[in-house]
Amino acid sequence: MATYLVDLSPSDMQRRLGDALSVYVDAMRYPRGTEDQRASMWLEHTRRPGWKAVAAVQLGDADNGLHDGAQRSLTEAELATASMLGVAYGYCGAPDQWWQQQVVSGLQRSGADRMRIAELMSSYFELTELHIHPRAQGRGLGEALTRRLLAGRAEAYVLLSTPEISGEANRAWRLYRRLGFTDVIRGYRFVGDPRPFAILGRTLPL
């Protein structure tokens, strides 16, 4: 079976939303049913300025390689039937977004000065979701999707949030550190979620 990295248009995301949300729920080990709570938000995100999504999909080709969709673009029919192994998306941060408001308040509380906050917030890509299905993890797909998603972005920074894990001992943390992400805020509690999160970031290009 061959694995392909592809860009998803907003209508691709709409068509494959159920599969993308399944990857997300299985990867995060969230309870079944979480998909239904997230569906409308993921669709709303496709309309945000600078939205981009990428996916890793598997086709029943003879070889076992990893292919970049830039070299051989999949037909609509292939994309519609391929099984989804991973998905990632993000968009350009803006002041009317809840996430930006949370991050600004976290930065203020952590003592960051106004210049630093303005510098970070004026031009960043929010890496909103990145998930590889558990059966496809540990093959470098997460890194490959991240690189594809961030390639050619015009923003000065990329920012993301990830749950705090003792000793940073999981694949997400290893990936972000390997890609050069550094601490922006640690131990942040978003309104409505009891878990502490880290906000990580780095300059672009990657």
Ligand X SMILES: CC(C)(COP(=O)(O)OP(=O)(O)OC[C@H]1O[C@@H](n2cnc3c(N)ncnc32)[C@H](O)[C@@H]1OP(=O)(O)O)[C@@H](O)C(=O)NCCC(=O)NCCS
**Could you list the active site residues?**
176
CB 197 within 8 A of CB 188: yes
Nearest distance in Å: CB 118, ligand X: 26
In the chain, at which residue ranges do the beta strands (DSSP E only) sit?
2-8, 52-59, 66-68, 83-92, 124-132, 157-163, 182-188, 197-203
Nearest distance in Å: CB 127, ligand X: 8
Say whether the peptide bond before residue 205 is cis (omega within 30 degrees of 0).
Answer: yes
In the complex with ligand X, which residue's Cβ is closer, 70 or 154?
70
- List the alpha helices (DSSP H) in 74-140: 76-81, 98-109, 114-122
Strand 124-132 to strand 157-163: parallel, antiparallel, or no bridges (unpaired)? parallel
In the complex with ligand X, which residue's Cβ is closer, 31 or 95?
31
Nearest distance in Å: CB 186, ligand X: 15
Structure tokens at 53: 């999504």
In the complex with ligand X, which residue's Cβ is closer, 26 or 119?
26
Nearest distance in Å: CB 65, ligand X: 11
Residue type, 17: L
Binding site for ligand X (CB under 6 A): 27-28, 130-132, 137-143, 162, 171-172, 174-175
Total residue count of the chain as it appears in this document: 206
In the complex with ligand X, which residue's Cβ is closer, 108 or 170?
170
* Residues 116, 100: Cα–Cα separation, whole Å: 14
* Residues 23, 95: Cα–Cα separation, whole Å: 29
